[in-house]
Chains A and B, each alone.
Chain A
Amino acid sequence: MSPDSPWIVWAVVAPLIAALLAAGFGPRATPLVFLTGVLGVPVSAAALAVQVERFGPQRHAIGGWGEPLGIELYADGLAALMLLVSAVVGAAVSVYASGFFGAGQAPPVPVMATDGSSVGYGHAPPVAVAGYPGGAAPAPPRAPHGVLAPGMPDASGAGQALTASPPADARAGRFFWPLWMLLWAALNALFLSRDVFNLYVTLELMSLSAVALVTLGGTDAATVAGMRYLLMSLLGSLLFLLGVALLYAAYGTLSLDGLASAAAGALDGGGSIPPATVLALAVMTVGLCIKAALFPFHAWLPPAHASAPAPASALLSGLVVKAAFYILVRLWLQVLPVAVPGAALRLIGVLGAGAVLWGSVLALVQHNLKLLIAYSTVAQLGYLFLLFPLLTDGGSPAAGAWNDAAWSGGIYQALAHACAKAAMFLAAGSMIHASGSDALVALDGISHRLPLSFTAFGLGGLTMAGLPPSGGFIGKWLLLTAAFETGRWVWAGVIAGGGLLSAAYVYRVLRHAFGRSEALPPPAPVPRRMELAALGLALVAVALGVAATRPIELLEVGAGPLAPMTGAMSEPGGAYADPAPGGSQSHEPISPDSPARGSGLSGAPARPPALPGAAARCAPILTGTLAQAPLPSTPGP
């Protein structure tokens, strides 16, 4: 693995090329789309992650033009991991979508609903509700399901019910691929952006593609939900842009590093934070919270995510909402931590707790599968925001003595949720197609009617409820650890109680899934690749619960404020600036004779190996032609 290979660029360019191919050549280009985008992104994301792991943060100036003129791409551990999850989820969704949209085959002849058992609630893909769409079925037939139940209306012909047919027509697929590839490119560029204006542009591009994906469902409900989503999303973007303008007016730079040192410098000189900075951060925060659907700005999310076609729902719930959270983490904790008082951390934590409780309660009263999963997203997003109050012991995040467990727990929860929730939405799409309805009651016996998809759903549910083995368990364990280390019981109560509520709403699906199904017609066959894509993604979520060491260590590369405070607000040689030789193991078992409460807050050099200490000492690896100063986060020797 050469440190100079520009994998960071390919992560953005590959889906962009794929988007152009898909837009220009339509369904014929699907194999090429897979070759460039679906294969290209995971390969470059994995390679980039290895580069960051080995050589520290990666930086690339596009075309050799660095800041302030050109566009820079930058990847630290956080960006690399987000990119990796985007790649994994994106690849699985793409495979699923190729079955869902019929992989460019001729659109199936629409068949009207043939039996009274289909209970359309308006949230299912339109054709899926219509029972058994006939027509040319591209996917190979699964094992025959035997004869239809006696007495079942059979107008569409038993023969067609035996072949797996795509749940949505290929016309929707024609728009899906270019939109999704554009979204993917924008999302990856967002994770790698290093200035606030690029963040705005990529956020906007991503949101517009996302809105278009919602309306692909074509139902009235989808159009209305898409419109609401568009308006809320625009509001969020405008607020963010306003903040960008205010910051530019105040500091004359848009670069994250420049902003961080300028803001820290203003404080270092004995001054206070300019009100414009605080205002800018405040409006940006509101905008981002709207986009991240943080309680109480969540109302747009459930209808939008529930009425989109299943692959789009998976992308929206798994990846898109994480983007706004990601920007918020960057701004609050790394760029402008000096403008974030401890009270703000607590406030956003309270909103997160509200989301956990309220989202779960609403998930408990839904009667439709996709709405239940969508409300679960609202609740699970709340967990991510618990990262903020648990990160410090009540003070500003600028000092840099972050609680390890809170940092890795919050982010890990985001990674695990991305995989698990996407898997659940994909599995839900298959189950809805098979049972012909989005209603929970139609899922009776789905555990043996559609075992692979149900297994994917159940394994995803483990992460929601935080049960082992799953990434969600690790995330909750770490967040709980952070709460107990600092003796804050209320947050521990929220984390534990939220887990119980999550288990309760996942149970509402289980109850039906293991029930009897003799009265139901046999399930419509589902293309095999749809089932396997969902299962694969769910297994990734499980694997995150077993092999968490490397991701968590990668997460520490480049963590901490971009411009660590000097002087009163931090101790030099504190946790993050300390290049502990060899890196001592965090949370090391402590002999009973010397009990130590916590480790992250004590300021002691107790950090996992491969820490910024070690990582940041590596000189930033530059590609292109432009020489760069060392990263601002590099501690001076």
Chain B
Amino acid sequence: MVALRSAAYLPLLVVLSSLVPGVIIAFLREEQVRTRTALNIAGAVLKILLVALMLWGVAEGRRYAWRLAIMPGFELTLVGDALALLFVTLSAILWLVTTLYAIGYLEASPNRSRFFAFFSLCVTATVGIALAGDLFTFVLFYEALTWTTYPLIVHRGTPATIAAGRTYLQYTVTGGTLLLVGTVWLWAVAGTLTFRDGGFLAGLPAETHGELTAIFAVLVLGLGVKAALVPLHGWLPAAMVAPAPVSALLHAVAVVKAGAFGIVRVLYSVYGIELATALGGAQALAIAAGITILYGSFRALTQDDLKRRLAYSTVSQISYITLGVATLGPVASLGGLVHLVHQGLMKITLFFCAGNLAETIEVRRVSEMDGVGRRMPWTMAAFAIGALGMIGLPPLPGFVTKWYLGLGGLAAGDVWVVAVLVLSTVLNAAYFLPILRRAWFADGIPAVPHASEAGPLLISSTVTAAALSLAAGLFANMVISPLTWTRLVIERLYAP
């Protein structure tokens, strides 16, 4: 009994493992580098251990829940179920990798205590989003994520970053308000906000369906901002002026993922995919995702700034998740959900590489990348894995995603999904392959032939991220892999 009761605190501990270090770091002096680093790494490692414990429990069929009354009728509810753990595991692992990268990246730069404090708070909010057991808790952490990310984006304090921060807040605060309004409205209609596999709205009478459709639109608009659905994506390319670890956090670990995960929750745990399809919301969402995929890829084609190109690539790739979950049927869901992890792994690799290039040899534009493969072989090898994975080359994770998405689209009778995938793959290749060609095979390599690789922390975290990406694709059918876990999620979602 005692063991069971203490296990209920696991979700709370997962949240605290970054909240507590974050708060302590906020009060550290700038010179206390060792204490800060120790706290950062201890928190990240502890979080992974706790998550591993929960993974094991959930795989055994357990479900962790922890509650705290906030006000009469509303509780902070943290639930560790299979879907939550998919996101939590991704965040926990990538947080450790990104922390190591950030420690190396920000060496000897000012205001590191502030940076790492908000970095930890940001991850706390993300983990809270993942573990939220009802929409109230979700909103709480989702809005907290908005303001904890802002100081990271404007970290450098230059006019360009301040402007990007402004754009970011304009988009996300408005989105957050929409989500809040939609949530309260939903509560007024349904009287509950507790997530349930298959949705908690299915039993509502037909005369509420008009209102439910409107609420669906409001919720998706609110979430679509962070998920960078076109035309709500404008903040994401603007935010690429942030330091590289922050970009990694925005694109892979926290912010866009929070939006996409929110859409998953609304579809699967609030409305249920059947009701969402009956209301027409799911189809509209799938079409918006399809448009976003193509639009993002087209825009990426013409960007010369490397990080901006990667940002548009994120706009496009993140919508694979939305497309998959909004398409009816378990196979498409599998493709969409697994991309939550796959996109994170590949995109974090790519942003680490961009950061290495900018910090080490001041290369920020695609047109300056001639021959960088010889100068920074490790970085560019990692970049190649990420880029080829995004294109969908087997056996890399992007291929796994696209395979199941395509199968799912066919199974649901939506042939256009396959067309979108094919076109998008062509476009992916068109904006990634020229980079690889320049890096490795360009004529007229500039006269700096010697290797000038990035620092050891930067390189090791980059290579780790690339190795994780490779493994996620190569060993997709092993017992421990994102795909296997997602299968578990889907089984439980479709057979509640």
Chain A residues near B205 (CB, 8 Å)? 595
Identify B180's interface contact among A496, A517, A546, A586, CB under 8 A: A496
Chain B residues near A503 (CB, 8 Å)? 169, 173
Is A480's CB under 8 angstroms from B70's CB?
no
For residue B19, give the distance in angstroms from its CB to the closest CB of chain A.
11
Is B70's CB under 8 angstroms from A514's CB?
no
Q: Known interface pairs A552-B71, A588-B73, A595-B208. Does A480 touch B184 (Cβ–Cβ under 8 Å)? A: yes
Is B71's CB under 8 angstroms from A447's CB?
no
Chain B residues near A484 (CB, 8 Å)? 184-185, 187-188
Q: Which stretch (A207-215, A303-311, A465-473) binds chain B?
A: A465-473
Is B194's CB under 8 angstroms from A589's CB?
yes
Q: Does A283 contact B (CB under 8 A)?
A: no
Q: What mask results when residues 587 to 603 of chain A are scored 1 for a CB within 8 Å of chain B, else 0?
A: 11111110111100000
Is A462's CB under 8 angstroms from B147's CB?
yes
Chain B residues near A478 (CB, 8 Å)? 71
Q: Known interface pairs A496-B181, A500-B177, A592-B201. Does A549 touch B71 (Cβ–Cβ under 8 Å)? A: yes
Q: Does B202 contact A (CB under 8 A)?
A: yes
Is A485's CB under 8 angstroms from B192's CB?
no
Chain A residues near B29 (CB, 8 Å)? 143
Q: What mask results when residues 124 to 151 of chain B are scored 1 for a CB within 8 Å of chain A, else 0?
A: 0000000000000001110110110011
Q: Which stretch (B87-95, B154-162, B381-389, B438-446) binds chain A?
A: B154-162
Q: Known interface pairs A496-B181, A500-B173, A507-B169. Does A549 touch B69 (Cβ–Cβ under 8 Å)? A: yes
Q: Does A553 contact B (CB under 8 A)?
A: yes
List residues of A (490-531) whose CB comes within 8 Å of B's CBs. Answer: 492, 496, 499-500, 503, 507, 510-511, 514-517
Q: Does A155 contact B (CB under 8 A)?
A: no
List residues of B (92-125) whose CB comes within 8 Å of A's CBs. Answer: 110-111, 114
Is B191's CB under 8 angstroms from A480's CB?
no
Closest to A517 in B: B157
| CA A268 to CA B201, docked complex, whole Å | 46
| CA A585 to CA B190, docked complex, whole Å | 16
Closest to B181 in A: A496
Q: Does A451 contact B (CB under 8 A)?
A: yes
Q: Does A233 contact B (CB under 8 A)?
A: no
Is A485's CB under 8 angstroms from B188's CB?
yes
| CA A596 to CA B181, docked complex, whole Å | 19
| CA A478 to CA B180, docked complex, whole Å | 11
Q: What mask results when residues 564 to 603 of chain A are scored 1 for a CB within 8 Å of chain B, else 0?
A: 0000000000000000000001111111110111100000
Q: Does A54 contact B (CB under 8 A)?
A: no
| CA A597 to CA B144, docked complex, whole Å | 29
| CA A255 to CA B387, docked complex, whole Å | 78
Q: Does A149 contact B (CB under 8 A)?
A: no
Q: Known interface pairs A496-B177, A496-B181. Does A589 touch B166 (Cβ–Cβ under 8 Å)? A: no
Chain A residues near B151 (CB, 8 Å)? 447, 514
List residues of A (518-551) whose CB comes within 8 Å of B's CBs. Answer: 545-549
Chain B residues near A608 (CB, 8 Å)? 72-73
Chain B residues near A547 (CB, 8 Å)? 70
Q: Known interface pairs A448-B111, A510-B150. Does A595 touch B189 (Cβ–Cβ under 8 Å)? A: yes
| CA A473 to CA B166, docked complex, whole Å | 22
Is B72's CB under 8 angstroms from A516's CB?
no
Q: Does B203 contact A (CB under 8 A)?
A: yes
Q: What mask results when residues 171 to 204 of chain B are scored 1 for a CB within 8 Å of chain A, else 0?
A: 0011011001100110111111110000011111
Is A516's CB under 8 angstroms from B181's CB?
no
Q: Does A325 contact B (CB under 8 A)?
A: no
Is B143's CB under 8 angstroms from A448's CB?
no
Q: Does A132 contact B (CB under 8 A)?
A: no
Identify A549's interface contact among B70, B150, B162, CB under 8 A: B70
Q: Does B41 contact A (CB under 8 A)?
A: no
Chain A residues near B111 (CB, 8 Å)? 448
Q: Does A481 contact B (CB under 8 A)?
A: yes
Is B184's CB under 8 angstroms from A448's CB?
no
Q: Which residues of A contact B (CB under 8 A)?
A: 143, 408, 445, 447-448, 451, 455, 462, 465, 467-469, 473-474, 476-478, 480-481, 484-485, 487, 492, 496, 499-500, 503, 507, 510-511, 514-517, 545-549, 552-553, 585-593, 595-598, 608-609
Sorted from nearest, which 5 A-B pairs have the closest CB atoms?
A587-B73, A592-B203, A590-B191, A484-B188, A589-B192
Given A477-B184, A484-B188, A492-B184, 11 other A-B residues pairs in contact with their CB atoms under 8 A: A448-B111, A462-B147, A468-B141, A478-B71, A484-B187, A499-B177, A590-B190, A595-B204, A597-B191, A598-B188, A609-B72
Mind listing 26 A-B residue pairs with CB under 8 Å?
A445-B157, A455-B26, A469-B140, A469-B144, A476-B180, A480-B184, A484-B185, A484-B187, A496-B177, A499-B177, A500-B174, A510-B150, A511-B162, A515-B162, A516-B158, A545-B70, A546-B76, A548-B70, A549-B69, A549-B72, A587-B187, A591-B203, A592-B190, A592-B201, A592-B204, A597-B191
